[in-house]
C-alpha cells in the first residue's frame, strides 16, 4: 500500500499558487503560524524555510512522520503536532498563533456539523487579534471549460525508482459534497503496474456561509482573497477572519 505522503507529493507537491499569499499573511502578522492539516509539509516547510515560526497540525501519523523527516533533511525548524480537526476539544498548542491557515480546502473536509466546533476552539487557541485564512473551492470556476476538460494531464512523479501517476477523471457536484475522482497508478522498476481509483470528498460551503459560521463562533469577517490555480484547475477563494482584540 502506498504511503499517503507519496500521493500528497504526486498530486499536490508541484502546486504553489497559494504560497505567496501565505507568506504575505505571515509577514503581516509577525507571529507564530498554525497550519491546519499540514500533510507532508508543502506549506509548512515553505514558511519555516523562510524564517517563520510554524506549528504544523496533522492527524495522520504517517504524514506527520514524513513531515518530521523532511524538516530534518532540510535543516528546517518547526513544531509538529498530531491532532484531529474533527475533535477540536483535544487540540492543545504550545503557544498562541497570530495566524491560522487552512490551505488546499482542508476546511471542506469537515461537514456542517464539524466546522462550528473547530472555529470556536480556534478562537480559544489563537492570540487576540489573530487572523485566520481558510481556502474554499471557487465553484464558479469548477466546471469551466478548463476545469471540466477531459484533456487534463495526470500528475506524475518518480520516487525511489517507482513512477507514480494520478489522473483526474471527473468532478461530481452533489447537493452537499464535491467528489473528485482520480485514477492512481504506480509502475515498479521492473514494469509491473498497480492501479486504484481514489475519491476525494469535499463538503460544499460558500464564502458567505463560512463567514456566518465564523461570526457565530466570535470571528469578524475581514476580507477575501482569490487564488488563480492556472489552466484546467479550479481557482480558490480564501476567506479571511479576524479574532477580537
Range of the domain at 79: 4-140+206-242
- φ and ψ of 240, to 5 deg: -100, 135
Residues 130 and 147 in one domain: no
152 shares its domain with 133: no
CATH, residue 174: 2.20.25.110
Three-state DSSP at 100 gives strand
Q: Are residues 125 and 12 in the same domain?
A: yes
In the chain, how many domains are there? 2
219 and 101 in a single domain? The answer is yes
Same domain, 44 and 83: yes
What is the Cα–Cα distance from 187 to 194, expressed in whole angstroms?
Answer: 7
Q: How many other CB atoms sit within 10 Å of the CB of residue 56?
A: 28
What's the rounded Cα separation, in Å, for the pair 81 and 105?
20
Q: Are residues 90 and 63 in the same domain?
A: yes
- The conformation of residue 189, written as its DSSP 8-state character, comes to T
For residues 83 and 159, membership in a common domain is answered with: no
Q: What is the CATH number of the domain that holds 62?
A: 3.40.50.150
174-187 exposure pattern, b = at least 16 Cβ within 10 A, e = fewer = eeeebebebebbbb
The verdict on 163 and 121 lying in the same domain is no
| DSSP track, 170-188 | EEEE-SSEEEEEEEEEEE-
Dist. CA 189–CA 179, nearest whole Å: 32
Instruction: Give the separation between CA 15 and CA 9, rounded to whole angstroms.
Output: 10
Query: What is the CA 160 to chain-centroid distance, rounded?
Result: 25
User: Tens of pLDDT along the chain (245 residues)?
Assistant: 677 888 888 888 889 999 999 999 999 998 899 999 999 899 999 999 999 999 999 999 989 999 999 999 999 999 999 999 999 999 999 999 999 999 999 999 999 999 999 999 999 999 999 999 999 999 988 765 344 444 567 899 998 899 999 998 888 999 999 999 999 999 999 999 999 999 999 999 999 999 999 999 999 999 999 999 877 678 999 999 999 99
End-of-domain residue from the set 187, 202, 217: 202
Residues 33 and 91 both lie in one domain = yes
Residues 50 and 34 in one domain: yes
> Could you tell me if 150 and 69 lie in one domain?
no
Amino acid at each position: 500500500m502506498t504511503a499517503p505522503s507519496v500521493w500528497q507529493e504526486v498530486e499536490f507537491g508541484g502546486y504553489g499558487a497559494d504560497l505567496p499569499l501565505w507568506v504575505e499573511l505571515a509577514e503581516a502578522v509577525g507571529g507564530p503560524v498554525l497550519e491546519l492539516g499540514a500533510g507532508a509539509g508543502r506549506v509548512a516547510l515553505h514558511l519555516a524555510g523562510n524564517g517563520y515560526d510554524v506549528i504544523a497540525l496533522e492527524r495522520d501519523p504517517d504524514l506527520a512522520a514524513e513531515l518530521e523527516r523532511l524538516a530534518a533533511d532540510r535543516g528546517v525548524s518547526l513544531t509538529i503536532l498530531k491532532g484531529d480537526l474533527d475533535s477540536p476539544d483535544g487540540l492543545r498548542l504550545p503557544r498562541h498563533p497570530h495566524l491560522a491557515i487552512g490551505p488546499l480546502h482542508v476546511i471542506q473536509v469537515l461537514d456542517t456539523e464539524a466546522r462550528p466546533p473547530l472555529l470556536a476552539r480556534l478562537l480559544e487557541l489563537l492570540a487576540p487579534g489573530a487572523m485566520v485564512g481558510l481556502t474554499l473551492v471557487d465553484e464558479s470556476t469548477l466546471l469551466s471549460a478548463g476545469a471540466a476538460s477531459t484533456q487534463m494531464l495526470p500528475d506524475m512523479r518518480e520516487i525511489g525508482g517507482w513512477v507514480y501517476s494520478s489522473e483526474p477523471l471527473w468532478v461530481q457536484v452533489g447537493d452537499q459534497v464535491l467528489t473528485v475522482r482520480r485514477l492512481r497508478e504506480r509502475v515498479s522498476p521492473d514494469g509491473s503496474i498497480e492501479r486504484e481509483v481514489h475519491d476525494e470528498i469535499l463538503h460544499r460551503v460558500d464564502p458567505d456561509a463560512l463567514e456566518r459560521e465564523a461570526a457565530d463562533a466570535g470571528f469578524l469577517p475581514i476580507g477575501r482573497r482569490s487564488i488563480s490555480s492556472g489552466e484546467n484547475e479550479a481557482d480558490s477563494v480564501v476567506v479571511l477572519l479576524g479574532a477580537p482584540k
